[in-house]
Amino acid sequence: MTFKVRYSYLPQQFDDQAISEILEELRLFVPTGDFTLGKPVAEFERRFAELMGVKHAIGVGSGTDALKLPLKALGIGHGDEVITTANTFIATVGAINEIGARPVFVDCDDSFCMDVDQVEAAITPRTKAIMPVQFTGYMTDMRKLMPIAEKHGLPVVEDACQGILADIEGKRSGTWGIAGGFSLHPLKNLNVWADGGVVVTNDDAMNEKLRLLRNHGLKNRDEVAILGYNSRLDSVQAVVGNWLIGQTHDIADKRIANAEYYDRGLGEIPQIRIPPRPADCKRVYHLYIVFAEDRDALLQYCLDAGIEAKVHYPIPLYQQEGLKHLGYKAGDFPVTDRHAREIITFPADQHLTREQQDYVIDTVRRFYATR
Ligand SMILES: *Cc1c(COP(=O)(O)O)cnc(C)c1O
């Protein structure tokens, strides 16, 4: 079915005009043959670092690798534990798992991020890092988390994949810890035409290590300094990224305006609860989520009405088949469980119209009126 309010805005984002402009850039690029770690990657890294206000940005193969490589650079591996949050996209856990470490979950709070008050109880002698997730584009309470990490001598690597340009009192997502990882996946706020990722850091040693790790550990053509990976940001995707990166602030601002509009409309409906919106925190609404009574029925009603609403996520990670070996059991993370039952995601992207938003708000109102 074609949705009146669709979830994917890729056809609008990359319309005919955009495609022609990008293809023209690619037409100029291809004859250079500069296909691995070439000029477009260096340019994208420079512009990304500038956008984030950091010293270094390192382009890598995916958002997952943008989390994995900093952990690897910290020397984390088999037998080590990395504390992260119970409700996140599987890639966070995948990155920890890929280097042989064990993900240890703590529950979320209603910001959809890690409940920082529960972190200390999860620390063991095997804990080697903390990976907060700026989930949905909200910020973890980093002002509280950083002193806890420092007290225990634990590095923080931020999963900022959903949080580009989010901040707390102006300090940006991805810049709080030793490193922060971003994804350029087509569904992320700053997106390219395939997989891609970026790590940001202000630490010179981390920067050097990451540049080795993403390129087989090669110091130069002939010398291998460490064992690494093949995880370079693709030059073709860097061309796409360079075309788009100038729009990143506008994309965030548009999403924020859309979220505020929803908050006002949906906030008037008694069966809908808007999450806390602390004023000192900038949220970029990679996902726009509210709490809803009778969520499953509302979701179906919206789908039937042509609104492509979603749930992020209906089955908590710790209860997934593929993570059974971690030994968690139903009920271990009650807030994450409650979220799985109560939350609903509505499209809030930069290409959504006010008419579409009004239609969503009216549809939700109509649903509860019929109950
Ligand atoms: C998208 C995402 C990632 C990384 O995903 P890739 O598909 O590898 O780019 C990691 N963590 C979170 C929370 C994400 O949303």
Given 246, 270, 305, which residue is the final one in a domain?
246
Atom of ligand 1 nearest to the CA of 286: 15
Ligand 1 first shell, C-beta below 6 A: 62-64, 88-89, 91-92, 133, 135, 159, 161-162, 183, 185, 188, 195, 197
Residue 41 domain flag: yes
Label residue 338 exposed, middle or buried (CB < 10 Å: 0-12, 13-18, 19+).
Answer: middle
Q: Return all residues near 310 (Cβ < 8 A) that are at least 6 apart.
A: 7, 344, 345
Note down the domain range covering 70: 10-246
Does residue 358 share a domain with residue 252? yes
* The predicted structure's pLDDT at residue 105: 98
Is the pLDDT at 1 greater than 80? The verdict is no
Q: Name the percent of the chain lying above pLDDT 70.
A: 100
Average pLDDT over residues 301-326: 97
Element at 129 (helix H, strand E): strand 127-130
Q: How far is CA 276 from the centre of its chain?
A: 19
**In whole angstroms, what is the distance from residue 203 CA to residue 205 CA?**
6
pLDDT in tens, 83-137: 999 999 999 999 999 999 999 999 999 999 999 999 999 999 999 999 999 999 9
Is the pLDDT at 274 greater than 90? The verdict is yes
Given 246, 279, 299, which residue is the final one in a domain?
246
* The predicted structure's pLDDT at residue 334: 98
Type of residue found at 118? Q
pLDDT band of residue 335 (cuts 50, 70, 90) is very high
Q: Whose CA is nearest to atom 10 of ligand 1?
A: 91
Query: Across the beta sheet with 81-85, what order do the strands follow?
Result: 102-106, 81-85, 127-130
pLDDT band of residue 371 (cuts 50, 70, 90) is confident
Does residue 232 share a domain with residue 136? yes
Structure tokens at 294: 């009778």
Is the pLDDT at 287 greater than 80? The verdict is yes
pTM across the whole model: 0.97
Residue 295 domain flag: yes
* The predicted structure's pLDDT at residue 179: 98
Give the domain CATH number at 229: 3.40.640.10
Does residue 281 share a domain with residue 236? no
Structure tokens at 316: 């908590």
* The predicted structure's pLDDT at residue 120: 98
pLDDT in tens, 223-241: 999 999 999 999 999 999 9
Average pLDDT over residues 145-153: 98
Give the domain CATH number at 337: 3.90.1150.10
**In whole angstroms, what is the distance from residue 127 CA to residue 158 CA?**
16
Does residue 204 share a domain with residue 165? yes
**In whole angstroms, what is the distance from residue 22 CA to residue 191 CA?**
13
Given 246, 261, 277, which residue is the final one in a domain?
246
Ligand 1 pocket: which of 71, 161, 189, 195 to mutate (most atoms <8 Å of CB)?
Answer: 161
Label residue 153 exposed, middle or buried (CB < 10 Å: 0-12, 13-18, 19+).
Answer: exposed
Average pLDDT over residues 58-79: 98
Label residue 8 exposed, middle or buried (CB < 10 Å: 0-12, 13-18, 19+).
Answer: middle
Q: Name the percent of the chain lying above pLDDT 90.
A: 99
Residue 299 domain flag: yes
Residue 1 domain flag: no
Domain tally, the chain: 2
* The predicted structure's pLDDT at residue 2: 86
CA 64–ligand 1 middle distance (angstroms): 6
Q: Whose CA is nearest to atom 6 of ligand 1?
A: 63
Is the pLDDT at 80 greater than 90? The verdict is yes
pLDDT averaged over every residue in the chain = 97
